[in-house]
Structure 1
């Protein structure tokens, strides 16, 4: 039997759709739920585990009580053993760390966990290089290199191991940022250690590259191109330093780590939630553009730090109305890896796959592949 550890942070990413930029902090999850946010971590974990259903009779899952893993593996019919009991329905980081420590005593073959950078940091405190780990991306912010590019990709990596295929291991950085500063628009990342991960480069994301683009002239050209093509449509401006430069050129305040709404080059609303954004889109059906950029070093265009751009909003906007902006140096740094769509909706990710235009200068664009490893 393959011994698979499973830890789910059930509130990971819950603050994303309501523009909280994360779920860390006292009362944040409760406040997010009161505003209509829905827990997604178990859904993301289910996408990974469904890949393993053909092999469930040869897998023993070691997991945590309730929503931290037990409920999911039981519903899917896996053989499982609960190694940690949570003291209440409200789980904490102490539960994650205690469960990870018990995984070391159990000596699992691989620890699969669903969460964000905070979850990875908690697990690294206890696991170190004791055994391989792999993250299912479920958080708002994912700077660490221990995560698969999508939940399904995480399942594919485990499948390789379960079927005894040769999988190389490598060391990957565990990164986290100060979330209170993050909510104020300041990214201050710190390295907290490293853990062993399977080195299947198609499926495992790189550590996020931070910092602003250095080539200001190129950013000016990109911004000028977008501005010259702004008509009366409603423009949704995604997060990131490249889109922030566009807002600066428009002379508008910008939410670096959130989503803003602009029309006729005027700011309608800053740092919108998913539900607010949906109302704007519904009021402007067929007249909406979405301007986004990619995460440096990783290539994600959806599913990392912009959960406000939900599947229903992306579908309503339409693939043809998505404007991706990036410098050629940022694309080159991906070393031919595709851009990644990880919306949480497999059919939408498939629809977004293929080649999409990326604005790289004034009247200058390249066609670049978009993928969602399944």
Structure 2
């Protein structure tokens, strides 16, 4: 919820209130609705749903039959997640599906441990754990495969970070434990992998390429998170890029905005020639929809899909399995327009074609 307004998550009441003050809109209801909308076509699935705004309201809107577990108030906390997950175990569920990010995964782990199979529908800023499907639609497909006995149950990593440090530009990922997760080839995301020292040379050559041949002084550059983009930012005159946020800089070195929100980006690129530069998350391959929600569908459409530039070290691409990049912007039409084969920059005058799914 906090991603679009530049807050990098909403763990904790204070940050959640600040997100609301900035005009953030909850993401989970839309993602839950997308997930649930596929299931009515498939008889044999019985739904046990959290009460009120944590699930029952959406299920009722879709006309689904369900059993409701525990009521919740207008405002909910992690305590509600833990309480409801524990209650669901008493209903003899086969798989527990939650909608959220790594913080929610951690709460579910606390509640159920290894007592039930768990599947995450991604809807957070921090989605580094391997218990999540690629998107809501693939999550629904995994449930159907699970129902048909066509999945393998594996231990999925639950990872999380300290959000307060994350906002300061420090990314310290810790392993919180494991959840039993249904696995079906290509439908679940991998955990985030760290950058390696061997990536440094590639990052520098990519930055050299931009500095010497690609940067235009009159163009506005929207710079996504990551170390590779950080090297490019240095060439643009940004001495201290927001490593885990989004900055906007003109090609002549003028800094237009640091750690910006979606609304700020839209204002800064209006009536300008602009380009967006992003890098995929190591190990996962997501270049949109994970950790850079400020670069929203509105922003991409404003700048233009053709002016979305993807950069990555050769090592980062080599570590991806399957060898593909992933997009989960939250806008199905935009995602579809980005799928297929696309050229990405991997070095000085070095590009490669890679499949986007």
* TM-score in same-fold range (> 0.5): yes
Q: Secondary structure at the match of 2:69?
A: strand
**CA–CA distance in 1 between the matches of 2:142 and 2:303?**
33
Q: Where does residue 367 of structure 1 map in the other structure? A: 353
TM-score (norm 1): 0.91
Match of 2:53 among 45, 54, 67: 67
Shift of 1:241: 1.7
Q: Does the 8 Å contact 1:148/1:154 carry over to 2? A: yes
Q: Secondary structure at the match of 1:236?
A: strand
RMSD (Å) for aligned C-alpha atoms: 1.3
**CA–CA distance in 2 between the matches of 1:295 and 1:51?**
28
Q: Where does residue 190 of structure 1 map in the other structure? A: 174
**CA–CA distance in 1 between the matches of 2:197 and 2:339?**
26
**CA–CA distance in 1 between the matches of 2:20 and 2:199?**
41
Q: Where does residue 81 of structure 1 map in the other structure? A: 67
Instruction: Work out the number of aligned pairs and report it.
Output: 353
Q: Where does residue 298 of structure 2 map in the other structure? A: 312
Alignment of 1:13-162 (within 5 A): 14-55=1-42, 57-86=43-72, 88-162=73-147
Q: Where does residue 224 of structure 1 map in the other structure? A: 208
Shift of 1:323: 0.9
**Residue 344 (str. 1) matches residue 330 (str. 2):** yes
**Residue 281 (str. 1) matches residue 266 (str. 2):** no
**CA–CA distance in 1 between the matches of 2:289 and 2:162?**
20
Q: Where does residue 171 of structure 1 map in the other structure? A: 155
**CA–CA distance in 1 between the matches of 2:149 and 2:44?**
15
Shift of 1:212: 5.1
**CA–CA distance in 2 between the matches of 1:316 and 1:367?**
25
1:201 to 1:245, Cα distance in 2 relative to 1, 3 A = farther
Q: Deviations over 1:317-366 (max 9, x none)?
A: 22211111101111010034311110101111000001111111111100
Q: Where does residue 221 of structure 2 map in the other structure? A: 235
Shift of 1:65: 1.5
**CA–CA distance in 2 between the matches of 1:328 and 1:310?**
26
Q: Structure 1 residues 207-216 or 93-102, which shifts more?
A: 207-216
**CA–CA distance in 2 between the matches of 1:256 and 1:144?**
20
Shift of 1:261: 0.3
Q: Where does residue 11 of structure 1 map in the other structure? A: none
Q: Does the 8 Å contact 1:296/1:330 carry over to 2? A: yes
Q: Does the 8 Å contact 1:294/1:339 carry over to 2? A: yes
Q: Secondary structure at the match of 1:169?
A: strand
Q: Where does residue 330 of structure 1 map in the other structure? A: 316
Q: Where does residue 260 of structure 1 map in the other structure? A: 247
Q: Structure 1 residues 202-211 or 344-353, which shifts more?
A: 202-211
**CA–CA distance in 2 between the matches of 1:338 and 1:47?**
24
Q: Structure 1 residues 233-242 or 58-67, which shifts more?
A: 58-67
**CA–CA distance in 1 between the matches of 2:172 and 2:15?**
20
Q: Does the 8 Å contact 2:199/2:316 carry over to 1? A: no
**CA–CA distance in 1 between the matches of 2:199 and 2:26?**
39
Q: Where does residue 5 of structure 1 map in the other structure? A: none
Q: Where does residue 7 of structure 1 map in the other structure? A: none
Q: Does the 8 Å contact 1:59/1:78 carry over to 2? A: no
**CA–CA distance in 2 between the matches of 1:19 and 1:40?**
14
